[in-house]
DNA sequence: AAGCTTTGCAACCGCGTCTTC
DNA sequence: AGAAGACGCGGTTGCAAAGCT
């Protein structure tokens, strides 16, 4: 009995965990050179390494495999791809990684996780800030001391968008409408503003964002600007969007006079699905913006323009 | 400069699926 | 057919480096 326990203990001790050493990597690489990336369990059974087959496979896939982009940050293009595919596939990291040469599922997963944490932090900060300054909230929002004007945005799938100045927009923070901050008094460069999954592009320039809101609208004809899109979001996205009502969100998300737009919008990586999910796709050679970068990618997942009778 | 917090990443774990016998 | 082992995937954890106060 004691002998058996001792044997079990030995077996347990034999399995090594933690960071890999260069020698171990070398052994693993030699094994793969010889037998190919398979038979991971035999590495241990042959006594080559005191690692589980699982651990060996993971090491190979994530670090030793050729053509990996190790230590290389995700490019803007890769970010867009991840965001786009995550909204399509969900958390299918392995699947998403197949679209990103040199990236592993672990890379994608970590990238997404960091993104989510960043977003959570922003949300948390924005909520605590808002709670301390609720009393100052009013129809004329504060935006680094600048007065801002509400506008409406009209969308035509074939002709793009136009921005329409409007006297007043009343949107409850608990509504599910998509809201985009806007300030006509600030100016940015001539980059267009795009919305991620919708591919919405604002055509009128120059403008930038402030604390008031733009409501995305969709219409089938240029004259049909009054058809307002009701956009159903996931609870998470809805909560985030609701917080855009916070007059101080701008202070949280970024400087009003920044030459960089606030968020990065994923340019569509694939052609849109047959369903009218996206209003207008931004062409590939257009410069990516950084609008809505810190928003959950599923924010526009379920965007579906309101049906016209 | 020191201490604390945040971030990014490598690795582990549990579970489901696939393969082999 | 089904049991056992191997494999693959997604979630989670731990740690070192970077950043901040």
Query: How does pLDDT run across A106-154, given as a tens digit for each residue?
Result: 888 888 888 877 777 766 665 555 444 433 332 323 222 222 222 222 2
Do A45 and A139 belong together in one domain? no
Domain boundaries, position A130: 72-309
The total domain count for chain A is 2
Do A45 and A94 belong together in one domain? no
Do A139 and A161 belong together in one domain? yes
Do A49 and A190 belong together in one domain? no
Q: How far apart are CA A55 and CA A266, in angstroms?
A: 34
CATH of the domain at A59: 1.10.10.60
SS (H, E, C) A107-134: HHHHHHHHHHHHHHHHHHHHHHHHHHHH
Does residue A209 lie within 7 Å of nucleic acid chain B, judged by its CB? no
Structure confidence at residue A126 (pLDDT): 59
Do A168 and A283 belong together in one domain? yes
Helix (H, G, I), strand (E, B) or coil at A42: helix
Domain boundary among A38, A64, A90: A64
Do A51 and A160 belong together in one domain? no
Do A31 and A167 belong together in one domain? no
* pLDDT classification of A301: cutoffs 50, 70, 90: very low
Domain boundary among A64, A84, A112: A64
Q: How far is the CA of A110 from the C1' of B1 (A)?
A: 33
Does residue A53 lie within 7 Å of nucleic acid chain C, judged by its CB? yes
Does residue A65 lie within 7 Å of nucleic acid chain C, judged by its CB? no
Do A84 and A26 belong together in one domain? no
Nearest of A261, A230, A262 to residue A119 by alpha carbon: A262
Do A57 and A152 belong together in one domain? no
Nearest nt by C1' to A40 Cα: C6
More confident residue, A271 or A132: A132
Q: How far is the CA of A217 from the C1' of B4 (A)?
A: 47
Query: How does pLDDT run across A75-115, given as a tens digit for each residue?
Result: 888 888 888 888 888 888 888 888 888 888 888 888 888 88
Nearest of A158, A129, A72, A153 to residue A248 by alpha carbon: A129
Residue A184 has pLDDT above 80, yes or no: no
CA angle A242, A135, A184 (to 5 degrees): 60
Domain boundary among A64, A99, A114: A64
Q: How far apart are CA A216 and CA A241, in angstroms?
A: 13
H helix intervals, A2-92: 2-14, 22-35, 40-45, 53-59, 76-89
Q: How far is the CA of A186 from the C1' of B14 (A)?
A: 52
More confident residue, A53 or A290: A53
Do A150 and A266 belong together in one domain? yes
Structure confidence at residue A13 (pLDDT): 46
Interval A244-273 mean pLDDT: 34
Does residue A169 lie within 7 Å of nucleic acid chain C, judged by its CB? no
More confident residue, A34 or A125: A34
Q: How far is the CA of A12 from the C1' of C3 (A)?
A: 25
Does residue A274 lie within 7 Å of nucleic acid chain B, judged by its CB? no
């Amino acid at each position: 009995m004691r002998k058996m326990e001792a044997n079990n203990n030995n077996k347990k001790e034999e399995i090594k965990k933690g960071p890999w050493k260069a020698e171990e990597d070398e052994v693993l690489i030699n094994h793969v050179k010889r037998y190919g990336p398979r038979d991971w369990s035999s590495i241990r059974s042959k006594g080559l390494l005191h690692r589980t087959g699982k651990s060996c496979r993971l090491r190979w896939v994530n670090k030793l495999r050729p053509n990996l982009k190790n230590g290389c940050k995700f490019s803007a293009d890769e970010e867009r791809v991840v965001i786009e595919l995550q909204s399509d596939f969900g958390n299918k990291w392995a699947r998403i990684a197949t679209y990103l040469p040199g990236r592993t599922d672990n890379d994608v997963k970590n990238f997404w996780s960091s993104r989510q944490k960043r977003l959570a932090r922003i949300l948390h900060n924005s909520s605590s800030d808002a709670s301390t300054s609720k009393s100052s909230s009013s129809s004329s929002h504060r935006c680094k001391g600048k007065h801002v004007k509400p506008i409406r945005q009209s969308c035509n799938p074939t002709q793009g968008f136009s921005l329409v100045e409007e006297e007043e927009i009343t949107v409850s923070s608990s509504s599910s409408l998509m809201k985009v901050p806007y300030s006509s008094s600030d100016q940015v460069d001539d980059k267009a503003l795009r919305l991620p999954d919708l591919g919405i592009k604002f055509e009128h320039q120059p403008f930038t964002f402030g604390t008031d809101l733009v409501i995305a609208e969709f219409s089938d004809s240029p004259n049909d600007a009054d058809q307002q899109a009701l956009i159903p979001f996931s609870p998470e996205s809805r909560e985030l969007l609701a917080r855009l009502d916070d007059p101080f969100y701008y202070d949280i998300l970024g400087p009003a006079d920044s030459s960089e737009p606030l968020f990065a919008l994923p340019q569509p990586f694939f052609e849109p699905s047959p369903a009218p999910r996206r209003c207008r796709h931004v062409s590939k050679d257009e410069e990516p913006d950084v609008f809505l970068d810190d928003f959950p990618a599923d924010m526009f997942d379920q965007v579906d323009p309101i049906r016209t009778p």
